[in-house]
Amino acid sequence: MSTPLEDITIARQAVLRPIEEIGEKAGFPASALLRYGSYKAKVDMDALKKVNTSAHGKVVLVTAISPTAAGEGKTTTTIGLGDAMAALGKKVMICLREPSLGPCFGMKGGATGGGKAQVAPMDDINLHFTGDFHAITSANNLLAALIDNHIYWGNDLGIDPSKITWRRVMDMNDRALRQIVVGLGNNGQTREDGFDISVASEVMAIFCLARSLEDLEERLGNIIIGQRFDKSFVRAKELKAAPAMTALLRDAFQPNLVQTLEHTPTLIHGGPFANIAHGCNSVMATDTARKFADYVITEAGFGADLGAEKFFDIKCRQAGLKPVATVVVATVRALKMQGGVSKENLGVENVDAVKAGITNLARHIENVQKYGIPATVAINHFTSDTEAETEIIRQACEKLGVTAHFANHWAEGSKGALGLAEEVVALAESGKANFTPLYPDDLSLKEKITKIAQSIYRAKDIDLSPAAKKKLDAFEEEGYGKLPVCMAKTQYSFSSNPKLLGAPEDFTLPIRDVRLSAGAGFVVALCGEIMTMPGLGRAPAAHQIHVNQKGLIDGLF
């Protein structure tokens, strides 16, 4: 098992190449790179338009089983797979999400991979990077300020303050801000408000789904911020907010180029959470990679029930993507935890627990296969894995018609994932992919939520609250019935109960509320007690992060 010190040491001993060299490897001319120091750059999309390229990259999705405290290593595997495919002589580009400061300082830590399968410079990427999240936060909060300012100066639009749905955001876990009161001290009309984390903002979702600056501005203008006293919707364009919001996002909207420790070009751009948003990197980055690489390796957040489902049903639907292969990541340790073993006992061989935990892996495999995408399994190797435990996984995957690859990219880099890479290339070239979303556009919003709950989660039914049903009816009356749905649900279980591990079924999924993200182009369904502003844990990762005597940042893993 890796340690933070090992990961940091490996990253700092790596010899990075100038970003112009990485750009050249990707096919980007130096004139298209806007340098942020020696090892990272924004990619000037106007300059790229002048480059002739015939590539039409095949998209490969990396997803995972339901996450546990043991970790699965989805980002590490994405990076290791990309490096291994490059080692096979393929022109490949990796597309990842930007880390949020919330989990960096909260429970999860950094999100740049680990061991010899990392993207760099790790410290910069995890903390602030090129300022994209700050721009998204500012654009979101500009709209919030314009709403309250409009009401303060007479409220010509007739906005009902009690029906404002637009919330402020910040890129930090802070439970104290979930519910607040604004307008105190004669500074406007007093009303209840609240904060979400920036990665849950509709601005973040729009940022990641827009195809151009013009599309970005149009989507921002279509944001619904609340209702008038006559119950009609109010849009951001009526507050004249979209042009200024677009101005704040202009530079951030250009993808960020960095490198792996083996110098594979990597675009890191956008970062919506998959448990409360759609969990995929930006369409701008993915489209750019497809124009310059033969293979694009990307990931979607958390387990396949969340990130992969949203990648297929939201991102692929809106961006016209047709993925050719899927990799489902697991570890022996995580499977044992899914089978009921406590974290402190994961190093002890337990074949029965692996057998019990495989039900979770099997369900995720079955789910991705429902989309018509061939799949393979990557078991992210740990030194504590035993032959008996890995043989159980191999046999179980064989029964499901997929191959399990025991990859050691953390310790060996590309060399440790060559078998996985060869399998992915074979699947991608097989012509077996026949991508089809889970549901058609013309199902009702309730039917779409039910379809996901029953087909992906294996719920018996949904329990739609009266308030949520009323909102869904209103959304459909306003013409939003054809939108896909984005499920906001705990990442730890197929159900809404984070303690219900393995592969539960025949439960009822509670839908307590729904939100319309008209600019992003989906309807959010909030399941159970899921929060759109996380809190810090009893021992947050922030306690371990510091600047050492050499002026370097330690503790980010």
- Both 395 and 328 in one domain: the answer is yes
Cα distances (angstroms) measured from residue 200 to each of 140, 168, 173, 298, 471: 11, 11, 12, 20, 20
Among the three residues 249, 279, 295, which one is the final residue of a domain in this structure? 249
- Domain assignment present for 71: yes
What local confidence, expressed as pLDDT, does residue 1 receive?
Answer: 45
- Backbone torsions φ then ψ of 507, nearest 5 degrees: -95, 170
pLDDT tens-digit map of 397-453: 999 999 999 999 999 999 999 999 999 999 999 999 999 999 999 999 999 999 999
Confidence of residue 209 (pLDDT cuts 50, 70, 90): very high
Cα distances (angstroms) measured from residue 376 to each of 74, 225, 394, 406, 524: 14, 43, 11, 11, 30
Q: One of 76, 78, 286, 288 is an active-site residue; which one?
A: 76
Does the annotation mark 302 as catalytic? yes
pLDDT tens-digit map of 243-267: 999 999 999 999 999 999 999 999 9
- Domain assignment present for 155: yes
Instruction: Answer yes or no: are the C-beta atoms of 357 and 334 closer than 8 Å.
Output: yes
- Both 260 and 405 in one domain: the answer is yes
Q: One of 133, 207, 302, 522 is an active-site residue; which one?
A: 302
**Residue 476, amino acid:** E
Among the three residues 249, 267, 292, which one is the final residue of a domain in this structure? 249
Confidence of residue 339 (pLDDT cuts 50, 70, 90): very high
Instruction: Answer yes or no: are the C-beta atoms of 484 and 314 closer than 8 Å.
Output: yes
- Both 26 and 159 in one domain: the answer is no
What local confidence, expressed as pLDDT, does residue 11 receive?
Answer: 61
| CATH number of the domain enclosing 460 | 3.10.410.10
Average pLDDT value for residue range 541-554: 83
Residue 544 has pLDDT above 90, yes or no: no
Q: One of 382, 475, 507, 557 is an active-site residue; which one?
A: 382
- Both 422 and 299 in one domain: the answer is yes
Does the annotation mark 108 as catalytic? yes
Does the annotation mark 166 as catalytic? no
Q: One of 25, 91, 108, 469 is an active-site residue; which one?
A: 108
Does the annotation mark 74 as catalytic? yes
**Residue 451, amino acid:** K
- Domain assignment present for 109: yes
- CA 215, 217, 222, 223 dihedral sign is positive
Q: One of 274, 356, 404, 459 is an active-site residue; which one?
A: 274
Does the annotation mark 247 as catalytic? no
- Backbone torsions φ then ψ of 7, nearest 5 degrees: -60, -45
Residue 7 has pLDDT above 80, yes or no: no
Does the annotation mark 355 as catalytic? no
- Both 290 and 408 in one domain: the answer is yes
Q: One of 40, 97, 290, 489 is an active-site residue; which one?
A: 97
Number of domains in the chain: 3
Among the three residues 194, 224, 249, which one is the final residue of a domain in this structure? 249
- Both 84 and 65 in one domain: the answer is yes
More confident of the two residues 71 and 249: 249
Residue 165 to residue 152: CA distance in whole angstroms: 17
pLDDT tens-digit map of 293-317: 999 999 999 999 999 999 999 999 9
Exposed, middle or buried by CB within 10 Å (0-12, 13-18, 19+), for 411?
middle
Across the beta sheet with 485-488, the strand order is 461-464, 508-517, 522-527, 485-488
Q: One of 40, 42, 74, 363 is an active-site residue; which one?
A: 74
- Backbone torsions φ then ψ of 406, nearest 5 degrees: -95, 95
- Both 421 and 285 in one domain: the answer is yes
Torsion of CA 525, 199, 162, 178, to 10 degrees: 100
Residue 329 to residue 378: CA distance in whole angstroms: 5
Look at the chain and count its residues: 557
Spell out the residues 6+ positions from residue 543 whose beta carbon is closer than 8 angstroms to its own.
Answer: none
pLDDT tens-digit map of 124-165: 998 989 999 999 999 999 999 999 999 999 999 999 999 999
Output 471-478 pairs: Cβ under 8 A, ≥24 positions apart. 471/513, 471/514, 471/516, 472/444, 472/445, 472/446, 472/514, 472/523, 475/445, 475/514, 475/516, 475/523, 476/444, 476/445, 478/233
| CATH number of the domain enclosing 278 | 3.40.50.300
- Domain assignment present for 532: no
**Beta strands 195-197; 295-299: pairing state:** unpaired
Confidence of residue 9 (pLDDT cuts 50, 70, 90): low
- Both 193 and 183 in one domain: the answer is yes
Peptide bond into 67 cis (omega under 30): no
- Domain assignment present for 544: no
- Both 234 and 369 in one domain: the answer is no
Structure tokens, 289:
């990679």
Q: Could you give the angle at which helices 213-221 and 242-249 cross, rounded to 10 degrees?
A: 140
- Domain assignment present for 554: no
pLDDT tens-digit map of 355-385: 999 999 999 999 999 999 999 999 999 888 8
| Residue-number span of the structural domain to which 163 is assigned | 133-249
Q: How far apart are the first and last CA of the chain?
A: 13
- Both 309 and 424 in one domain: the answer is yes
- Both 492 and 418 in one domain: the answer is no
Does the annotation mark 274 as catalytic? yes
- Domain assignment present for 488: yes
Residue 449 to residue 149: CA distance in whole angstroms: 36
| CATH number of the domain enclosing 206 | 3.30.1510.10
Buried/exposed 122-158: b ≥16 CB within 10 Å, e otherwise: bbbbbeebbebbbbbbbbbbbbbebbbebbeeeeebe
Mean pLDDT of the chain: 93
- Both 79 and 219 in one domain: the answer is no
Average pLDDT value for residue range 112-121: 92
Confidence of residue 504 (pLDDT cuts 50, 70, 90): very high
Q: Model pTM greater than 0.85?
A: yes
Does the annotation mark 343 as catalytic? no
- Domain assignment present for 510: yes
Q: One of 129, 410, 475, 557 is an active-site residue; which one?
A: 410
